[in-house]
Amino acid sequence: MTYDEKKRVYRIWSFFSEGTALETEGTWAQESRTMTWVYRSGQNEVTTTVQCEEDGIVKVKFVATERPEKNPGTVIGTFTLQKEQP
């Protein structure tokens, strides 16, 4: 991951064994403690928001749109960070 100062976004590149690559851009909103990642490929788009709450709870939302004329699919999850057991 790196930060692009000109675009003011975080950037991630992923490379897969079958030869494809994925480029994702992210923005951080300090006031809501939320990181938003967007991946676009042609007419497809995936947006992921990750909200970090004070009490160790992380809320994640994935929205995937296959084509503009279709309704987006949405997955929402909440993760609670737990300390390791001795």
> What is the structure's pLDDT at 75?
66
Which has more pLDDT, 74 or 71? 74
Lowest mean pLDDT among 5-9, 40-44, 72-76: 72-76
Domain residue limits at 29: 2-80
Total number of domains in the chain? 1
**Domain annotation covers residue 8:** yes
Distances (CA, A) of 69 to 66, 72, 73, 83: 9, 9, 12, 44
**Domain annotation covers residue 85:** no
Across the range 34-61, mean pLDDT stands at 79
**Domain annotation covers residue 12:** yes
C-alpha to C-alpha distance for 69 and 78, rounded to whole angstroms: 29
**Domain annotation covers residue 24:** yes
Across the range 48-61, mean pLDDT stands at 77
> What is the structure's pLDDT at 69?
59
Which has more pLDDT, 81 or 50? 50
**Domain annotation covers residue 75:** yes
**Domain annotation covers residue 86:** no
